[in-house]
Amino acid sequence: MIKKIFSLARYSFLTGVGILLGFVRELVVSSHFGLSKELDVYIAMGGFFLFLGPQVGNALEMVFISKTAQLDTAAKLTQRLMQGLRVMLVVDVAVVGILLSTASYLVAWIFPGFSEEQRELGVVFVAHLCLAIVFANLAGLIRASLNIMRRFSPGLIAGSIVSVFSIAAVVVYGDRYGVQALLYGFICGHAAVLVLNTVMFLRFADFSYRSNKEQRSRLPSFWGPVFLVLLLEAFFQARSMTERGFASTLETGTVSAFFYASTLITLPVSLVVMPLSTVLYPRLAEAFAEDRRRGYSMLKRYGGGLFVFAVIIALIISVASEEIVKVVFLRGRFTPDDASRTAHILSIVSLNLPLLSVTRLIRYSLYSMSNYTAPCVAQVIGWLMMASAGMVLLPKYGIDGLAYSSVLACGSVGLALFASLHLSFLKYDGRQRVVETA
């Protein structure tokens, strides 16, 4: 028990360092660029990267862990990873080709409020981000293998590495290249993460499976579930891009203001929820595979505590939003007016925090039961809620309407996920009681 507590504390510390460096990065960026139109473009184009890079990598990671956690040898794990990487490289080539050929149309369609200058800059950013996309999703697949081996540290320090490169690029080259300096540092950071994960995996890899043809034919494909998880990520990112598309029609800097508000919301999630869920996921996968009652009990134990913690933090953030934003961001080109706008958004979107804290564990639990459809449907519901609420509330209430649309979308996703998990458990529990009675 003491060993587990020590491990969780160590992972929380690594995550905390990453959060601290992430905040330093945002402070450097905000003080250099404020709520500028160039930063709006960078953040908006980051949506393409988030989906095609980390979210593709996360989709592979989630399914990889749920389908591979019970493999009994390093050779089988290495074999599965090599299969995944080969397919991923082919997919990367296709994705990058499609993105490069359609970037100008996508930017104009999704962000109608951007000027022609902003759209042209957006196309340039997308072209550069293609490199980071490839680095991120390959690193995600390798990170899954490391997690199964209980080597969590490389994944937890990845954000720190990207932040350090980004900070250095802005400090050294920000005045010369503007926001593009941030972009270059971001790309180099993801390249460094991929190199680190590869080196760490090679320390534990076992390529002996290559000499055993029978063993190579035993592992089932996991690409069907990956496709469903990618649909989930696609609809999640569609919700985010819809929000940013709406924000682009408001005054300059609104996209950046929503981003900074979201950054403050994700602080407690990243500091507590991410390390806990990262450590728990392999255990959840094993528990649900053995007995769903045991897995459900584990989820309730940890999820209930997280929810209470998040409610308390959300109340504090909502009440003290103005003070928090001023202390964190008010310096350099980030003006008092920028702080006031960001704080107002923060006071509303802080309502997302309780559900954000538990939906990650609920989603992992559904994956552990090989239920990849329910999370996908939940994200579709969230996207539709974002789009419909935004169209109704934005014209009437402006920024407030968009912020409340975000809250409604997050709430609908969380409730749909919880309902799906609870119904799945009730069906399973009912069947088990019939078997036990017989």
pLDDT at residue 148 in the model:
72
Whole-angstrom Cα distance, residue 20 to residue 167? 12
Q: List, for residues 100-149, the tens digit of each pLDDT value.
A: 888 888 888 888 888 888 888 888 888 888 888 888 888 887 887 777 77
Whole-angstrom Cα distance, residue 356 to residue 349? 11
Q: List, for residues 222-242, the tens digit of each pLDDT value.
A: 556 666 666 666 777 778 888
Which residue type, as a one-letter code, is found at position 91? V
pLDDT at residue 338 in the model:
87
Give me 383's structure tokens.
């996207």
Written as one string, the DSSP assignment of 287-338 is HHHH-HHHHHHHHHHHHHHHHHHHHHHHHHHHHTHHHHHHHHH-STT--HHH
Low-confidence residues of the chain, pLDDT below 70?
1-12, 15-16, 51, 53-73, 209, 211-233, 270-271, 275, 278, 428-430, 432-438
pTM beyond 0.85, yes or no: no
How large is the angle between the packed helices 373-397 and 223-248, nearest 10 degrees? 0
Cβ partners under 8 Å of residue 405, min gap 6: 243, 246, 385, 386, 389, 390, 393, 394
